[in-house]
Amino acid sequence: MEYAALLERIAADIAPLVGSGTPAEYIPALASVDPNRFGMAIADLDGNVHGIGDWRVPFSAQSVTKVFALALALAEGGDSLWERVGREPSGNPFNSLVQLEYENGIPRNPFINAGALVVTDRLQTLTGDASSELLEFLRQESGNPEIAFDAEVAASEHEHGDRNAAVAHFMASYGNMDNPVPALLDHYFWQCSIEMSCADMALAAGFLARHGLRADGSRLLTRSEAKQINAVMLTCGTYDAAGEFAYRVGLPGKSGVGGGIVAVVPGRCTLAVWSPGLDSRGNSVAGVAALDRFTTLTGLSVF
């Protein structure tokens, strides 16, 4: 497939939407990002990567990191994780506390904030340093040793993290936290602050297109585990707009409020897009449109 021409076509088609939406305002370090940025990258199974626009510019990965944390937690600790977090769409905002009370402190899925906190808690127990383990994994899979935490974003997360703290303490009251909440939140905020480019993100997610195989050919996940993560990405990866994303794009995907989205075509390639302007659900307006155009133009989707 001629990726360069495809990316140029997509960028031209969605250009009127770049700048639409609003950058995440509740994290000051993200609110100041230029909303007119746009990048897109495609990585094939062999690690060849193609891109357009701002595809080499690092940005705040935010909730996109939840995919990688989940993969590491499953790789290190196996299926017992699913006793503590569900696999169903939430239908509520990503930082909601409502369902936790009805469901006895068990979050609906690993991609809402409550579920991601459980995953980070599990990874902390398994590794002793969840955020550093995740950072090293991303560096290895992307081939970029320069991927790093953003201290300014982490500080913003801490300063405006009362709801995440409330969620974590609430789950702890039900016995669904193993580590002290302050230490857990610290790792979670550092995790969300990781900066990556579209190229980094597409390459790092390659194991999901390779059915669990890492960039070096070693196995991170079983085929079944890779399938499970892709399935949860499809049904839960774009907050409470997952149904709309599946309808429009038809690929497993995970978004973040930094404006990034990673998507997987199992057995073919991975994609990453970035544009900071978000819709009311917290997903990149131009990013979703670009992925929509990709599947429409190529016919590549899981359906």
Of residues 18, 232, 257, 262, which has the active-site annotation? 257
Q: Which of 3, 49, 60, 63 is catalytic?
A: 63
66 noted as active-site residue: yes
Say which of 64, 85, 188, 275 is annotated catalytic.
188
Catalytic site includes residue 26: no
Is 3 noted as a catalytic residue in this protein?
no
Task: Annotate the chain with three-state secondary structure.
Answer: CCHHHHHHHHHHHHHHHCCCCECCCCCHHHHCCCCCCCEEEEEECCCCEEEEECCCCCEECHHHHHHHHHHHHHHHHHHHHHHCCCCCCCCCCCCCCHHHHHCCCCCCCCCCHHHHHHHHHHHHHHHCCHHHHHHHHHHHHHCCCCCECCHHHHHHHHHCCHHHHHHHHHHHHCCCCCCCHHHHHHHHHHHHCCEECHHHHHHHCHHHHCCCECCCCCECCCHHHHHHHHHHHHHHCCHHHHHHHHHHCCCCEEECCCCEEEEEECCCEEEEEECCCECCCCCEHHHHHHHHHHHHHHCCCCC
Question: Which of these is catalytic: 66, 67, 96, 285?
Answer: 66
Task: Given the residues 96, 131, 181, 239, select the one marked as catalytic.
Answer: 239
Q: Which residues are catalytic?
A: 63, 66, 188, 239, 257
